[in-house]
Structure 1
Amino acid sequence: MPVDQIPIGTFSRITHLSQKALRLYDERGLLAPAARDICTGYRYYTFAQVERGIRIRHLLWLGFSLSEVEVILDARERGDAGTIRDLFRARLAATEQEAGRLHAIAEVLRAQDPLNGGFRMSVTEPVIKEVPALRVLSRRERGVYQETIPRLIGELCACIYPAEGRQPAARAAGPIMFVCHDEEYRETDADIEMAIPITGSVNLEGTAVEVRTLPGGRFVSVLYTGHYPGVGKAYERLFAYMGEHRLLAAGPSRELYLNNPHEVPEDELLTEIQYPVQEIPPSA
């Protein structure tokens, strides 16, 4: 064996990459051994490959996928700083989003309320109410809840509360609401609509926001107080009530956010859940 050839086991110890990982990187062409024993197939690396191995491990530690690592290393060889910068910017945004989620989890765990699964919450008794048709500003997209909802809220609020010196595009007449059009939870392509009831004239020139009318009708409503992730408890109570009173869902549910998460503690957030309903026919 030449002096500059390193057995896979030693290379693994130097780079802190497992032999299983090294074999995978070889198959993908990400880090191929410099030599291979003809009889045994045993892999050998060189000292010059140590830097690439360490760089791969570092990028994986930062949270990049193997595919992204391949793109970054290829861009580095080509001197394409723009591609690398874009990937690092996207990774930073995803990391900050995840950090926010973990912070919220930590706050819930600090509440130490095991009987309620870590949440301090309350749910009112459901009531039937007649809801009028609502003229709203609306933005609807498919995406991930944690990213899409705050972005769409920001676009709507920019119409109601524009930057200094600009005229509002419309006047709010009610709280921000989320309209759920999906029949099941979707991880990455949820059908998300955010809306704000409005009154008066509207000028939406140059925006992606639209005006539409949400239908009115008979709704079951509950008020939920607590962290947003625990709102499922309110839906549980609402559906139990619908079953007890022979009611069927007659359209998408709505969540109305009645106070500002920047102004009150998370366990004091107030959300109204509304579900349009119809009675089950007696013969059913």
Structure 2
Amino acid sequence: MTATVSIGEFSRLTYLTVKTLRHYHEIALLVPVEIDVGSGYRRYSTDQVADAHLIRRLRRLDMPLPEIKAVLDAPDLGARDATLRAHLERMEEQLQRTREVVTSLRALLTPAAPVTVEYRTSAAFPALGLRAVIDRADTGAWCESTFGQLYGALAAAGIEPAGPGGATYSLDFFEHDLGEVLAYVPLPEDTEIPDLARDGLARVELPARRFAVAMHLGPFEDFDRTYGALGTHVAEHDVSLLEPVREIYLTSPDDTDNPADYITEVCWPIAHQ
């Protein structure tokens, strides 16, 4: 049997303060079933306890109030569950991100191993590439999608890559967190790709360059340490060129989906001496 209770009693039933309940009423998130015209006293139905408990838990998960309202206003249980699942997935991604940052921060507490720098002169070569202006925060998702597109296009055309894929990052990308990125997969010489020039894909020429090269092992969360060590070495021993840094991904998408297994060469363009 359903009953109505005062706001104070409802507060005890739900672990929500009176101040919080009044706020939820003002924003139409949890509206009392009765409001006394003369006194303005609020009364709640015991049927609302479950919604109040749900709201309390979602707020503890930092779900924004508009999203909670969308959950409560969902037309059916399926729509409600879909909204909840989407939020939980975002929370899990954030938790994973937090774990990665904590691991990287712990690594900063121990001395970094000296970086091994090699020198390499790379000849010019053709590649299938895609250029875009990318926000740094979107780089991972963009690269995953783009390399899938690049490798997929070559496989569909029966073309074997001539080497591991890579990407170049413009100065703006580092200076403003927004800049041009070129993702590419090397092509055999004289490969014709007229049918692949779609969806932004195009044949590009990577120029010949002299590089200082360092290897980065593992996920990209502490990529800045490799960049810092390599860039410091270049500043102290070489003449850096104001050109895009080239990264070469020695592990392809088919090799592993475990970030701990990633192997990346960071190639810093330098002047010939």
Unaligned runs of 5+ in 2: none
1:27 to partner: Cα distance: 3.6
Identical amino acids, percent of aligned pairs: 24
The aligned amino acid for 1:177 is G
Deviations 1:195-224 (A, max 9, x none): 222232223276554433344434332222
After superposition, what is the alpha-carbon deviation per residue over 1:12-61, rounded to whole angstroms, capped at 9, x for unaligned?
34234455543443342212344568899775533232232223234446
252-261 vs 55-64, greater mean Cα deviation: 55-64
Secondary structure in structure 2 of the residue aligned to 1:173: coil
Cα separation, partners in 2 of 1:222 and 1:64, compared to 1, 3 Å: same
The count of residues paired between Structure 1 and Structure 2 equals: 262
Choose from 133, 137, 160 the match for 2:129: 137
Contact 2:165/2:252 (8 A) holds in 1: no
- Larger deviation, residues 225-234 vs 129-138: 129-138
TM score, norm. by length of structure 1:
0.68
1:150 aligns with 2:139: no
**Shift in Å at residue 98 of structure 1?**
4.5
Paired residue secondary structure (1:171)? coil
2:174 is aligned to 183
The yes-or-no answer on 1:276 pairing with 2:260 is: no
Which runs of structure 2 are paired with 1:114-263 in the superposition (5 Å)? 117=109, 123-125=115-117, 127=119, 129-130=121-122, 132-138=124-130, 140=132, 142=134, 144-161=138-155, 167-168=156-157, 170-181=159-170, 182-184=173-175, 186=177, 193-199=182-188, 200-202=191-193, 203-204=195-196, 207=199, 209-245=201-237, 247-260=239-252, 262-263=255-256
Does the CA contact (< 8 Å) of 2:121 and 2:208 recur in 1?
no
Q: What RMSD, in angstroms, separates the aligned Cα atoms of the two structures?
A: 4.2
Does the CA contact (< 8 Å) of 1:125 and 1:222 recur in 2? yes
- CA distance in 1 between partners of 2:207 and 2:19 (Å): 58
The 3 A distance-change label for structure 1 pair 118 and 139 is farther
Deviation (angstroms), 1:72: 2.8
Deviation at 1:236, TM superposition (A): 0.8
Q: 1:164 aligns to what?
A: none
Residue 183 of structure 1, CA deviation: 2.2
1:53 is matched with 52
Aligned partner of 1:48: which letter? D
TM-score, scaled relative to structure 2: 0.70
Aligned to 1:5: 5
SS at match of 2:196: coil
Which segment drifts farther, 132-141 or 228-237?
A: 132-141
Instruction: Please give the alpha-carbon distance, in whole angstroms, between the structure 2 residues aligned to 1:92 and 1:154.
Output: 27
Following superposition, the deviation at residue 128 of structure 1 comes to 5.9
Aligned partners of 2:86, 2:158: CA distance in 1, in Å?
Answer: 31
Distance 1:217 1:70, change over 3 A: same
* C-alpha distance in 1 between matches for 2:184 and 2:150: 7
Q: 1:49 to 1:268 in 2, by over 3 A?
A: closer
Indicate the SS of the match to 1:183: helix
Structure 1 residues 252 and 206 mapped into 2: Cα distance closer, same or farther (>3 Å)?
closer
CA distance in 1, matches of 2:16, 2:180: 41
- Which range moves more in the overlay, 142-151 or 40-49? 40-49
